[in-house]
């Protein structure tokens, strides 16, 4: 039985990924900040299938302690799913809150690289896999995206750079870059359930389950196959976004 470590497993893509992998015969280490949600997953899916590791990915000491405390049957990580991430604020750069920017960098960039570095020796030893949840925002810019878009460009490219560095190790590395997915993402970003409902209304967006199914498919491919990057959008969304500012006379 293989073991996956899934960050940001308390909701959305992460939670759906834990459920989907376990239904397919995996064990999962589920990480996140909300202990009650992780405990509920353990109660529902079984302590033999899910190990709850409750910590904030920005807290390196807590991360170290959680990894050191993994029970023996969960310690051999075969798949790292770098899913934890967030966006805060939609203001233009010249009005943005620096604290929001720092939170996004600490979570989407720093925490991801720290955890990845810690698990690389195990992943190499086990010829495992790394799947990172990047974003189309890393390729296509939109107003108010600023640091979030920059952090996701980093996630996309760091993941591809890992692929180059892990050449010859047998470790598979994939960057998944989704467009609009209906999760708690917009609620966290705006603090408003109404804003979240307005964004997704009538758009038939992707779901956390759609991305979880993609993760499972990639994770279970034969070991000689690597998906380098995959970009997904709902049919309702496209990437044509050029604008022209005109002088009005």
Span 3-54, pLDDT tens digits: 999 999 999 999 999 999 999 999 999 999 999 999 999 999 999 999 999 9
Q: If residue 90 lies in a helix (H) or strand (E), which one and from where to where? A: none
Active site residues: 148
pLDDT of residue 132: 97
* pLDDT bracket for residue 190 (50, 70, 90): confident
| pLDDT attached to residue 167 | 97
Nearest by Cα to 50 from 31, 69, 76: 31
The residues, any chain, with a CB within 8 Å of residue 135's CB and separated by 6 or more, are 148, 149, 152, 155, 156, 177, 178, 179
Tell me: the pLDDT tens digits for 213-245? 999 999 999 999 999 999 999 999 998 878 889
Q: How far apart, in whole angstroms, are the C-alpha atoms of residue 166 and residue 159? A: 11
Residue 195 has pLDDT above 90, yes or no: no
Tens-place pLDDT, residues 78-126: 999 999 988 888 899 999 999 999 999 999 999 999 999 999 999 999 9
CB 10 within 8 A of CB 37: yes
Predicted pLDDT of residue 140? 94
* Residue 185 pLDDT greater than 80, yes or no: no
Q: Given CA atoms 222, 225, 226, 231 in this order, what sign does their dihedral have?
A: negative
Q: Is pLDDT above 90 for 186?
A: no
Give the C-alpha separation, 225 to 218, whole Å.
9
Sequence ranges of the domains in the chain: 3-179+208-231
d(Cα 105, Cα 113) in Å, to the nearest integer?
A: 11
> 71's torsion region: left (phi>0), alpha (psi -120 to 50) or beta?
beta
CB within 8 A of 198, min separation 6: which ones? none
**What are the helix (H) ranges across the chain?**
12-23, 35-45, 60-68, 72-75, 98-104, 112-125, 146-165, 185-190, 193-200, 208-219
Torsion of CA 225, 227, 228, 233, to 10 degrees: 170
The whole-number pLDDT of residue 179 equals 95
What pLDDT, on the 0 to 100 scale, is given for residue 71? 95
Q: What is the structure's pLDDT at 125? A: 97
Q: Report the share of the chain in percent with pLDDT over 90.
A: 84
- Cβ atoms of 22 and 4 within 8 Å: the answer is no
Rounded average pLDDT over 117-146: 96
pLDDT score for 199: 86
Mean pLDDT on 138-161: 95
Class for the domain spanning 3-179+208-231: alpha beta
Query: Residue 181 in contact with residue 207, Cβ under 8 Å?
Result: yes
pLDDT of res. 74: 96
Helix (H) or strand (E) holding 174: strand 172-178
């Amino acid at each position: 039985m293989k073991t996956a470590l899934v960050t940001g497993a308390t909701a959305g893509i992460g939670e759906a990924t834990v459920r989907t992998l376990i239904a397919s015969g995996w064990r999962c280490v589920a990480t996140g900040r909300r202990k009650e949600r992780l405990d509920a997953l353990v109660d529902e899916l079984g302590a033999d299938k899910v190990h709850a590791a409750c910590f904030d990915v920005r807290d390196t000491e807590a991360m170290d302690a959680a990894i050191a405390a993994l029970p023996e049957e969960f310690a051999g990580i075969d798949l790292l799913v770098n899913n934890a991430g967030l966006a805060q604020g939609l203001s233009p750069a010249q009005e943005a809150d620096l604290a929001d920017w720092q939170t996004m960098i600490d979570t989407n960039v720093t925490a991801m690289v720290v955890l990845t570095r810690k698990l690389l020796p195990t992943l190499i030893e086990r010829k495992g896999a790394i799947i990172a949840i990047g974003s189309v925002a890393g390729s296509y810019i939109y107003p108010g995206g600023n640091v979030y878009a920059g952090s996701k460009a980093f996630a996309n490219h760091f993941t591809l750079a890992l692929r180059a560095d892990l050449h010859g190790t047998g470790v598979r590395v994939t960057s998944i870059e989704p467009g609009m997915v209906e999760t708690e993402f917009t609620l966290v970003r705006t603090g408003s359930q109404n804003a979240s409902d307005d964004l997704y209304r009538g758009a038939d967006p992707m779901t956390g389950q759609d991305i979880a199914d993609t993760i499972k498919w990639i994770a279970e491919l034969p070991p000689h196959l690597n998906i380098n990057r995959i970009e997904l959008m709902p049919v309702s969304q496209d990437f044509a976004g050029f604008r022209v500012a005109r002088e009005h006379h």
